[in-house]
């Protein structure tokens, strides 16, 4: 293995604001700590939380790098002490990281690394961790979605949404989604959604009621929050679960809580980034045994809208505010 350089190129946030605050910089190559590997990054995913960090609304947790980027793929080029899981130098991995992905090198807890699925290149592999960890833990752990149940996924054409559609279908659920245009709805149906609701022209709660003959769905995966609270509760079946993962429509909403009691609903939610390595390791282990075989077999696959080089991170952030379907990716030369 070639000797590691002292310094690397990375993208830093020079001040909170629009995409143009993302600037290339030179930083020391990070050193892997106990239980960590050092990855030569080949590709990195761009996610909405990166945008929120850039805007100043989602600061990195204590101890996390200030460089954005929550998911990477590349080769292991360094091992910290006490690395478990059998990883060795030269292995290809994709990993969920707490930050620092927009860079040539990034450390990752070994327990948050997963193998590159069969026949995947680095870009496709890097498109997996953030949405697969998020959807798995929220839809299947917190939301307890079961085969034969139904789910409503908001933002069906987003990175999270395209993953949620495929995973929920693969595990035997009926899937309804919302999206903001006819074209985006069509993309969701092509991915497997049973019905896509254009929330700009249709009342999603009324459509869900019709589709389920008044019963409602078992799970709602929500990224809108306050603005959809009442309609989400109205869309749930008896014993239904509302799982909130983002607040694009604000943190506050008004709803009739009698519905929660009478219909025995659960309202829950989670953020992934601040959770402990042990908790993320548990999610990684479930993904490896339950979901990686589906990726290896080609049953499900990440949806990639576009791929840009690392030095065009600002353009990638402009693109995430556009009408992308699925993921926006950066390659690291
Ligand atoms: N809690 C966690 O751990 C966690 C982890 C990762 C991501 N997230 C959150 O999950 C969300 C999706 O992430 P992403 O990276 O996949 O972002 P993204 O691709 O930018 O997705 C945002 C989506 O929100 C949809 N949307 C906006 N307003 C809507 C409305 N009123 N009704 C229905 N859909 C609406 C948009 O759909 P249209 O364009 O079709 O309108 C868009 O597809 C982000 O808010 C992100 O912060 C949370």
pLDDT truncated to tens, each residue of the chain (333 aa)? Answer: 668 999 999 999 999 999 999 999 999 999 999 999 999 999 999 999 999 999 999 899 999 999 999 999 999 999 999 999 999 999 999 999 999 999 999 999 999 999 999 999 999 999 999 999 999 999 999 999 999 999 999 999 999 999 999 999 999 999 999 999 999 999 999 999 999 999 999 999 999 999 999 999 999 999 999 999 999 999 999 999 999 999 999 999 999 999 999 999 999 999 999 999 999 999 999 999 999 999 999 999 999 999 999 999 999 999 998 889 999 999 999
Whole-prediction pTM:
0.96
Q: Which residues 6+ apart lie within 8 Å of 206 measured at CB?
A: none
CA 312 to chain centre: 21
Ligand 1 pocket, mutate which of 248, 251, 318 (most atoms under 8 A from CB): 248
- At residue 10, the 3 state secondary structure works out as strand
**Nearest atom (ligand 1) to Cα of 321:** 20
Q: Which two tokens stand for residue 291?
A: 């979901």
Please give the span between the terminal C-alpha atoms of the chain, in angstroms, as a whole number.
18
Query: Residue 103 has what DSSP assignment?
Result: B
Q: Ligand 1 centroid vs 129 CA: distance in angstroms?
A: 16
Backbone angles phi, psi at 294, to 5 degrees: -70, -35
- CA-proximal residue: ligand 1, atom 21 (nearest): 158
Burial class (CB in 10 A: 0-12, 13-18, 19+), 240: buried
Q: Which ligand 1 atom minimizes the distance to the CA of 130?
A: 6
DSSP E strands in 190-259: the ranges are 195-198, 217-222, 236-244
Query: What contacts 267, CB < 8 A, 6 or more positions away?
Result: 233, 242, 244, 260
For atom 37 of ligand 1, the residue with the nearest CA is 155
Q: Which domains does the chain have, with CATH numbers?
A: 7-128+273-331 (3.90.180.10), 132-269 (3.40.50.720)
Backbone φ and ψ for 227, nearest 5 degrees, come out as -65, -25
Query: What's the gap in Å between 153 CA and the centre of ligand 1?
Result: 10
Can you tell me the distance from the alpha carbon of 326 to that of 180, in angstroms, rounded to the nearest whole number? 14
- Cα 224 to middle of ligand 1, angstroms: 8
């Amino acid at each position: 293995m070639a000797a590691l350089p002292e310094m690397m190129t990375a993208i830093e946030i020079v001040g909170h604001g629009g995409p143009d605050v993302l600037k290339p910089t030179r930083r020391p190559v990070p050193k892997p700590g106990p239980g960590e590997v050092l990855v030569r990054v080949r590709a990195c995913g761009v996610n909405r939380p990166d945008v929120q960090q850039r805007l100043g609304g989602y600061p990195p947790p204590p101890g996390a790098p200030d460089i954005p980027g929550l998911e990477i793929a590349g080769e292991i080029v360094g091992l910290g002490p006490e690395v478990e899981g059998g990883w060795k130098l030269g292995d290809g991995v994709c990993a969920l990281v707490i930050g620092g992905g927009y860079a040539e090198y990034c450390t990752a807890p070994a327990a948050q690394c997963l193998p590159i699925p069969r026949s995947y290149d680095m870009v496709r592999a890097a498109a997996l961790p953030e949405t697969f960890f998020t959807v798995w833990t929220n839809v299947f752990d917190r939301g307890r979605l079961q085969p034969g149940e139904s789910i409503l996924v908001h933002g069906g054409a987003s990175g999270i949404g395209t993953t949620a559609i495929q995973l929920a279908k693969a595990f035997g659920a009926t899937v309804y989604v919302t999206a903001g245009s006819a074209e985006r709805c069509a993309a969701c149906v092509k991915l497997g959604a049973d019905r896509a609701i254009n929330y700009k022209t249709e009342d999603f709660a009324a459509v869900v009621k019709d589709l389920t003959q008044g019963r409602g769905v078992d799970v709602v995966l929500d990224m809108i929050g306050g603005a959809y609270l009442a309609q989400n509760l109205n869309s749930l079946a008896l014993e239904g679960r509302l799982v909130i993962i983002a607040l694009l429509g604000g943190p506050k909403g008004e709803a009739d809580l009698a519905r929660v009691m009478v219909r025995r609903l659960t309202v829950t939610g989670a953020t992934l980034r601040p959770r402990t390595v042990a908790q993320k390791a548990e999610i990684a282990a479930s993904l490896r045994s339950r979901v990686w075989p589906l990726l290896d077999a080609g049953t499900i696959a990440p949806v990639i809208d576009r791929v840009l080089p690392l030095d065009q991170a600002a353009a990638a952030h402009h693109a995430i505010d556009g009408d992308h379907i699925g993921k926006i990716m950066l390659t690291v030369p």
